[in-house]
Amino acid sequence: MSQPTDNTVRVYTISLGCPKNRVDTERLLGTLGSAMGPVESVKEADLVLINTCGFIQPATEESITTILDAVRDAAEVMEKTGRKPLLCVAGCLVSRYGQDLKKELPEVDLWLTTEEMHLWPDMAAKALSVSVERDTPRNLSTGPAYAYLKVSEGCSHNCRFCTIPSIRGPHKSWPVDFLIDEAEQLANSVSEIIVVGQDSTAYGSDLGSGHDLETLVKGVAGISALQWLRIMYLYPAGLTESLLSILKEHVPPFLPYFDIPLQHAHPDVLSSMGRPFARNPEKVIDRVRSFFPEAALRTTFIVGYPGETEEHFEHLMDFVRKTRFHHLGVFPYWPEDGTPAAAMDNQVPDEIKMERRDALMELQAGISEEILSQYEGKTLPVLIEQPSEEWPGLYVGRAWFQAPDVDGVTYVSAPPEVELTLGSIVDVEIEKADTYDLSGLV
């Protein structure tokens, strides 16, 4: 990391929660342009920017703890140097609990809600007494391997457990030309672009003809510099035969990796959740595999939703056994204030929620280990992300079926005379498979 000069604003950032938050942070920092210099601690900073998550209780608790830590560190700086960094807290937690937070944390200098996102650059620049630089590229925080392309904001679904519509508002898409231009800029810096949105398959539904995921895929996949294209948050109802056909036509760079947030498998629970796809989820899995037999599937499930019986849970376990997902995230249900599900009868005890989560993750661990073991002895293309801290010559990378942060990684050993380029895709002979990670040699 280059050191900022005396004329720059030293900025320490923490972006919590989902990749969509990270993009918001990168866009804000990009508007500070040459005035911004990144540093690695609160004690070095002129500006401390914390972009928060408030989606569920654990995320809220993490955000509050992070803010309190920054307040403490800033007070120590003030005590020792007489200089207090500007504390700026942004994002979902602010939109959800803003007034209460302002009362409890007067030490924070600037609060930025998601409703004011278009004003974030001006508000931050004013507080720092610097100028906003318009039409500047994002300040990427993900390194040379990958970057996120955020295609939409908010959500217009009415899932009864979810706080996103009340925090982020209804679904709003960025214009397709804007996104393709941004993707072209990103492809000059990274090897992989990862499309994200609360529901990526709903992209463009609010903009009319010519703005849809099929059109966006065609445009982004046509960028010559792009090597990998991954799409996250593919809602089941939007995975139509038409879309799957377009995706199949654009391999490569499109990776046959399908992140499908199913949330449950039993139709009674899905209906109670108010999911937009409340029918048999096996149908969408079969549809995907009819176009992509080799597809790597990822999903998330909620266990312990109000009214979930042992029979419902066993149905979910059977579905996981049959489907054999590459990757699986499991979350115990949290009764969030203001959601319809929080007021429902038949709330499941926390102890049972945790037991069900552990049982499902134990089942998935065995499935994951079996799937990964099939790659032993094979050669896979691996995107090199960073050198490992364990020993020289060891790198951390990802195979095509591994998304950053949410999936496992591939450890790559290179001979002493070979220095791998970060962001490059190299052929790796896989020697060992663990439960979630792979190891191999160049």
Q: What is the pLDDT of residues 229-272, one digit of tens each?
A: 999 999 999 999 999 999 999 999 999 999 999 999 999 999 99
pLDDT tens per residue, range 391-410:
889 999 999 999 999 999 99
Q: Are 234 and 260 in contact (CB under 8 A)?
A: yes
Segment 170-184, tens digit of pLDDT: 999 999 999 999 999
The reply to whether 88 sits in an annotated binding site is no
Is 53 assigned to a binding site? Answer: yes
Q: Can you spell out the DSSP letters for 287-322?
A: HHHHH-TT-EEEEEEEES-TT--HHHHHHHHHHHHH
The domains of the chain, with CATH numbers, are: 9-128 (3.40.50.12160), 146-373 (3.80.30.20), 379-441 (2.40.50.140)
Lowest mean pLDDT among 27-41, 48-62, 164-178: 27-41
Q: Give Dmax over CA atoms of the chain in angstroms.
A: 65
For residue 66, the model assigns a pLDDT of 96
Q: 310-323 and 282-291 helices cross at what angle (nearest 10)? A: 10
At 309, list the tokens. Answer: 């019986």
Q: Is residue 396 a contact partner of residue 388, using CB atoms and an 8 Å limit?
A: yes
